[in-house]
Structures are given as C-alpha cells and as structure tokens.
Amino acid sequence: MTERLYYQNSFLYNFSASVEDVLSLADGRRALVFDRTAFYPASGGQQFDTGWIEFVSAENEEAMEFPKLRVSEVLEDEAEGNVLQVFDNLTCALVLPVRVRGFIDVERRQDHMQQHSGQHVLSAAFLKLFDAPTLSFHMGDETCTIDLDIAKLSAAQCEQAERHANQIVWDDRQVLKHQATPEQARKIGVRKIPDAAHETLRLIEVRGVDLCACGGTHVLTTGQIGNIQLRKVEKVKQGMRVEFVCGVRALRFARKDFQTLTEAAALYSSHIWDVPTQSQKLIDASKNAQKQQQKLLEEIAELTAQQALARTPAECGCKIISEFFAERDLAFIKLYAQKLVATEDNVIALVGAGQGSPSLVFACSTGAQAFANGFDAGAQLKKIVGEVGGRGGGTPLLAQGGVPSADLIPALLARVAQAARAGGSRDD
C-alpha cells in the first residue's frame, strides 16, 4: 500500500522513493508502484498530477546516468491501495531494488489546489445560503463544475453565492487537515462521508466554514485560492450544475473575456459594456434588410415572370417557359417558377439556377397538367437529375433538385422542353 505524502503536505513537490513493482497496463503502457509518493492519482473529482522521475543511486541518492522519465498519468489501484505512476515510454528493463526521485509539475498541482479548495468554499456557500448540498464535483481541463441538489437557482442567487465564497477567500481562513473515524465524523456533522467504511477518514476543514471528508490536495489558507468566478449555471437531471474557475484560471478567463469584448467593441467603436446593445441593433438591422431583400426578390420574380409570359406564345394552348439564370440561386428560381404558374393557368415552367448549388425547379399550372400527356413536374425532374447523378423530386405541380454542375443545366432544360412540346403536339 503506497504511503501518500500529499496527505500530509500538498506543497511537497519532490521526494525520493523505492520502486516496489513494475506493471504492464492493458493499453500497453507501463507503470511503477513506489513505497511512497507525492503524485496525486485521479480521484474525488480532482485530476491527477503529472511530472518526472529520475533514477538515483541507493547509496547517496545522486542522479544516475539515465534520462528523466515523464509521468503522463497517475492512477489509483483501489483494490491494492496503491498509486500507479504511468509512463508512455518506459522501455528499459528494471531490476529491483531501484531508487527514484519524483518531481511534481508545480503549476499543475497549484492550479488543482486552487480549484479543489475553491470548490469546498463554493459548496459551503451554496449550502449555507440556499441549503443546496453538493452532489458531485468535476475538475476539467478548462473549467470545474459542481452539481447541486436544488431545483432552481436564479442569477441573483448565483451572484450572492459567488460574493459569499469570495468573502471567505478574502478572510484568508486556514484550511486544516484532521483524522477521524466515520463515527466521530458523523457526530460532528461532517458532510459527505463516503459509503465505503474506512477506518479513519481524512477531513478537510475550512476554518469556521466547512468540514468534509476529502483526500484531495488543498491550499493552506483560503487566500491562496485567489478568487472564485462562476461561469455558467444549467439545469441537469439531478439538480443544478454550476460551472466555475478559481485562481489562475479565473485570471486567464477574465483576461480572455476582456480581450474578446475589446475586439468586439472595436468593431462597433463603442465601450465594451455597450457591446450587447450594439449587437442587438445590428441584428435588428440585419433582419430588416433580409425582409426588404425578400420583398425585392419577390418583386423582381414577379416582373420577370410577367415579361416572360408576355413574350412567350402558347403552343397548342400551353406556354412552355424554359430559362437558365446563371447569376441566380435556388430561392429565386423557386419564387420565379411559382409566380409563372400562379399568374396564368396554362404554364409549364422549367427553370435552372447557376449560383450556389446548381439547381432546377419545374412547376406546372393546374390547367397545363392535361398537356403533354399529363406533365408531371416531380417525375420529370427526378428522372432528368437522376441521369446526371443529381437528386431531387416533388409533386406533379412543383419539384426541385440539384445537379453536379451548372454547365449541364441548359441542355437538360432543352431536353425536357422538347419532350413536353412533343408530348403536347402528339396529344393534339
């Protein structure tokens, strides 16, 4: 069973130990078990430490002539009570006994201490203010979350909890470690006593504020947390999830927020606090412009349709209008075809667009359906686009589809028009 040096001292960043076991993991990586370690394994919501080890001489603990090895992950072997230091490239054969010196990545450990101690303080604030106990804690690479056993949380409540938690940070209260049996812990009202019965529990106390069972690494006083910043609140199945960052992460996030807002404000030539108002104005203006554009497009479609109908003579009682618009898109030709068949009752419209995805729209007035052996827009379009590897379909009165290239469209339209005319004259 590995002795955990981090239980006594979270600020112990290097240590020496004896290698007790060499393991091969299922994924092919290898791991070392030491008699004692300051490397924290992933557990209790906290992420694992990373760092380095070097092999040292058993006599004088001096480094031997081997390169340092990177500890890429640290795992907990709960069955054996061991901590596993995992290596991506530990290839040399090891003959025990071997002594090592371990070096913890300090910045990562300090960040974890800030997040984890910050979590205890924030959880205590939600419990005190709103009687909302913490169900679980997750420390991610970017942000941390706690899930609270409460149905709703307003923005004002979150702000209040954030203010209260930061007051505890500014009070610079001691963070203390205690040992107790589960029985003793229950008596003094410790929150979150683990179900698995341990002989002794490690308790973390934020002096005068919070006392709970926890195996994590913590700061010495709450001032070292720096500050606690709530980022997001959302409803989850078991209650409310609060996303937060502490200390160095809070600073990094605030800096990034400020930079982002500054860039946005520069686009509007406004103060950063006016960005939402300016954005709203722009969104409203853009919606208006879209409406206006749609109206104009309809008017153009209408006029173009009127002109086409005026210049197209009826052949055997039917007007077949076949047209390719290289500079227009599907939305326009759909409007145009619909205007054509709605304006007169004897029209077959065969229209193509070259802009955007090359597309075809076929439409047919109800009065023209009897023409051309019963012109069926959907069937005709499906057949013709299918021949060139495109897709599409619709009803007998209106159909649309896409083709691989705009260059194909004029010939396709000509073929369908010719077939419709031939069918029409055969009919008569």
The binding site for Zn ion (CB under 5 A) comprises: 214, 216
Q: Which is nearer to Zn ion, 216 or 358 (CB)?
A: 216
Q: How far from each other are the two terminal CA atoms of the chain, in whole angstroms?
A: 98
Q: Which is nearer to Zn ion, 211 or 420 (CB)?
A: 211
Taking only Cα atoms into account, the Rg of the chain, rounded to an integer number of angstroms, comes to 36
Tell me how long the chain is: 428
Closest approach of Cβ 141 to Zn ion, in Å?
Answer: 18
Q: Which residue number places its CB atom closest to Zn ion?
A: 214
Spatial separation of the C-alpha atoms in residues 377 and 390, rounded to whole Å: 16
Q: Which is nearer to Zn ion, 4 or 415 (CB)?
A: 4
Nearest 5°: the CA angle 194, 200, 201 is: 45
Nearest 5°: the CA angle 274, 279, 285 is: 130
Closest approach of Cβ 174 to Zn ion, in Å?
Answer: 16
Closest approach of Cβ 216 to Zn ion, in Å?
Answer: 4
Closest approach of Cβ 211 to Zn ion, in Å?
Answer: 11
Whether the Cβ atoms of residue 327 and residue 424 lie closer than 8 Å to each other: no
Q: Which is nearer to Zn ion, 177 or 231 (CB)?
A: 177
Q: Which is nearer to Zn ion, 216 or 352 (CB)?
A: 216
3-state secondary structure string across 77-122? ECCCCEEEEEECCCCCCCCCCEEEEEEECHHHHHHHHHHHHHHHHH
Spatial separation of the C-alpha atoms in residues 413 and 420, rounded to whole Å: 11
Amino acid at 264: A
Q: Which is nearer to Zn ion, 49 or 54 (CB)?
A: 49
Surface-to-core class of residue 222, CB atoms within 10 Å of its CB (0-12 exposed, 13-18 middle, 19+ buried):
buried
Closest approach of Cβ 219 to Zn ion, in Å?
Answer: 12
Closest approach of Cβ 47 to Zn ion, in Å?
Answer: 13
